[in-house]
Chains A and B, each alone.
Chain A
Amino acid sequence: HISAFKSFNYKLNIMMCRDQVIRVNVKSEEQIHLLQALETAQEWEVDFWLDPVSTELPVDIRVPRFSLIPVKEHLTFHNIPFTVMIENVQELLDKEKAEMEANQMKERSTRSLNFGAYHDLNTIYSWMDTLVADYPNLITKQHIGVSYENRPMYVLKFSTGGYNRPAIWVDTGIHAREWVTQATGVWTANKIATDYGTDASLTSLLNTMDLYMLIVANPDGYVFSHTNDRMWRKTRSVNPGYACRGVDPNRNWDAGFGGPGASSYPCSDSYHGPSANSEIEVKNVVNLIQSHGNFKAFISVHSYSQLLMYPYGYVCSSANHQAELHSVGRAAAQKLTSLYGTAYQVGSICNIIYQASGGSIDWSYNSGIKYSFAFELRDTGRYGFILPADQIIPTASETWLALKHIMEYVRDHPY
């Protein structure tokens, strides 16, 4: 109940050790005036939690420890009866703080994380730890490097053993403002963890392949989209000579880098950066993929537009495996649509959305990872980036059907 009282000092986190809150039931106008005068007595520093307004209402006063004796003497002298409501304000504050922290801790355990809500970076990172703790035989958390602002970047590795098994890569949140993607990453990681052992297809997949999930591929941008600018897209790297920060991390990969479909202007939201892999967030992923050497699929998840795309973006000519990729994509999109009727378009990036150079799946495809796909999740522009939270789980659920189809196909077509 303590938070129901207005208290300026409470917000300032000033220590209130052995301060007390006393309650006065005023009996006359004269008493009201007297109490109001108390407020101006600067040397006593009393703080009214319920102001003296009328004889109908109680007056609650927080009295600092050093003023307790003079204030109580003053009230007694003027025949104003009072009772001590709170004997030690600090004690109560500590208790409440502990309660709040306990609640937050509980929320962070996997079972009670609300998957149908958007969470900040700290919450997602804490939740990752609980997921790993709950499924230690399936999931490990790997630190793959830091962001520009020195935040850790974590990948969840789903593996049932083996050594350097063929692997599937999924990243979400490379563009900060695409909040439904990080949220989908969280839901999907949880889905895989809970379905392993019960879903036959998923179980067989994880018995022969590993799955790597980078849920927050752009942590600096994600934080900035929470604290400063909901529409932030890029990284937060400094561009020398310009007030504008950030590089579009999906124009920064080494595939047609600097070509059409990316901007050379640092203030642009599609700025490709000074050179390929200049962004540490991108370099960290490239390093992992290259040193692993055995990835068979690479899937990047974005929003919005409801599209499922394959290479290329940097040129409009067909990839060598165009026909096969289109066929897999179409089947995956049909699975997605089967859940709620959400319609997706399938095609190469360059044909479906725009020519764009330096994109992640072009790089992965040219590196030899044949099954490279990019998703643009819900919706088609009504809400756009600010998709209502109540659509997170439906979006993640339908997307999972498409992801699963692609992963099963990869499992069944080793190369």
Chain B
Amino acid sequence: MMRLVVVLAVLMGVSGIPDVTISPPTASADTSAHPNSIPETADESEQIKARTEEGAEEDVMATGELNPNHYPARRAAQVVQHYLNTRYGSPFRLIGVQTVHSGNAEDVADSGRKYQLELSVNDIITNTTQTCSAELFFPKGKGQQPPEVKASLEELLKIDIKAQEEALYQKYKTNQTLMSAQYLPDSHGHIEPDMKPFWHLGILASSFIMLNESTENTLYNVAQVANITQLTTEEDHLEFDCHTLLHEVVSQEIIHWKMLFTWSPAEGVKVVQMKRLPHRHEREKSPKTN
């Protein structure tokens, strides 16, 4: 009962170029189709039915000025965080939302909902903060359409990480054995210092997925990088295969994704391929220890 959603997409994460649009998934030689056209299996339709029951009372969306402490503003801010990481993130720069100062939401005809937020964001690694204005649009309608975000960073980009990025790139471009790591961090929250850049890369690659999957009814974090493995490549970037666990707070589900992505100081992170893995119960055959 394997339910594979294979989405072949070329997602660009280029630092410093404004107004990046995320190109929709393109069909490829692989015969698996766009996720929307995959027929529902019995348990999947049960799951969707169960969620519609839940959703009933949430249809009254917060509109107008938002309470910055309440969840609608918080969820929108999280989407901005994922967006900023896809655009500006690096193994040495990871963005987190610190505070929502104010927010506003409104319906846009029948096409969706628009948010405007004032936030403080934080470079997690250096613990530097700056304010940020963001605009979001959550499209309405059938099928999973990703939100559109407009936000930019200036202050945090002034922190110079070029030398560290170059050093990391050179080290792993020329290493004799390809790196591979599991469970970053481990069950006790521990991570070796020289593995942190790979934890961050796993988070960055996941940010493309989290951005793509976000709606007003979700809030995503990376729970853990289960596996990240370097692959050989002739090209001017490093290439990785990576399996991460995402935590979706509203449903409390842990969702597994596999990704193929590249990184270089010049190009940033590009996700080449991403695949959602089946739910735990479909994999629950043998015990798996961390």
Which of A's residues lie within 8 Å of B, judged by CB? 117-118, 226-231, 233, 242-244, 248, 259-265, 267-270, 305, 316, 343, 345-347, 351-355, 380-389, 391
Contact = CB atoms under 8 A, between A and B. Distances in A.
Contacts of B282: 243
Contact of B289 (A228, A343, A354): A228
Given A268-B251, A269-B251, 7 more contacts: A117-B188, A231-B247, A243-B281, A260-B54, A260-B55, A384-B221, A386-B186
A370 to B, nearest CB: 23
Question: B interface, by DSSP: helix, strand, loop or mixed?
Answer: mixed
A139 B53 CA distance: 45
B3 to A, nearest CB: 12
A312 to B, nearest CB: 12
B168 interface: no
B43 A384 contact: no
Contacts of A387: 189
Nearest to B190: A388
Contacts of B287: 227-228
A352 B70 contact: yes
Contacts of B221: 381, 384
A268 B56 contact: no
B22 interface: no
B247 A384 contact: yes
A389 B188 CA distance: 6
A389 B190 contact: yes
A248 B289 CA distance: 22
Contacts of A248: 252
Nearest to B220: A381
B50 A386 contact: no
B188 A386 contact: yes
A332 to B, nearest CB: 15
B280 interface: yes
Contacts of A351: 67, 69-71
Given A384-B221, A389-B189, A268 B247 contact: no
A43 B57 CA distance: 76
A269 B254 contact: yes
B67 A263 contact: no
Nearest to B56: A260
B124 interface: yes
Contact of A262 (B54, B245, B290): B54
Given A227-B289, A231-B254, A268 B188 contact: no
A268 B67 contact: no
A355 B54 CA distance: 9
B188, B251, B282, B284 — most chain A CB neighbours (10 Å): B188
A243 B42 CA distance: 14
Contacts of A265: 43, 46-47, 50
A261 B53 CA distance: 9
Nearest to B75: A354
Contacts of A380: 96
Contacts of B186: 386
A118 B249 CA distance: 23
Contacts of A260: 53-58
A263 B50 contact: yes
A126 B28 CA distance: 58
Question: A interface, by DSSP: helix, strand, loop or mixed?
Answer: loop
A135 to B, nearest CB: 29
Cβ-closest 8 pairs across A and B: A388-B189, A381-B221, A244-B281, A265-B50, A269-B252, A260-B57, A386-B189, A231-B254
Contact of A388 (B188, B252, B284): B188
Interface string B20-62: 0000000000000000000000010011001101111110000
A265 B50 CA distance: 6
Contacts of B47: 263, 265, 267-268
A352 B67 CA distance: 10
Contacts of B190: 388-389
A305 B75 CA distance: 12
B6 interface: no
A354 B250 contact: yes
Given A380-B96, A389-B189, A229 B280 contact: yes
A205 B284 CA distance: 48
Contacts of B53: 260, 264
Interface in B62-104: 67, 69-71, 96, 99
B230 interface: no
Contacts of A118: 187-188
A173 B61 CA distance: 32
B72 to A, nearest CB: 9
A382 B247 CA distance: 11
A231 B245 contact: yes
A268 B189 contact: no
A248 B47 CA distance: 16
B185 interface: yes
A387 B50 CA distance: 31
Given A265-B50, A347-B69, A386 B224 contact: yes
B223 interface: yes
Contacts of A355: 57-58
B96, B185, B221 — most chain A CB neighbours (10 Å): B221
A231 B282 CA distance: 16
Contacts of B223: 231, 384-386
Contacts of B247: 231, 381, 384-385
Nearest to B46: A265
A325 to B, nearest CB: 15
Contacts of B187: 118, 226, 230, 386
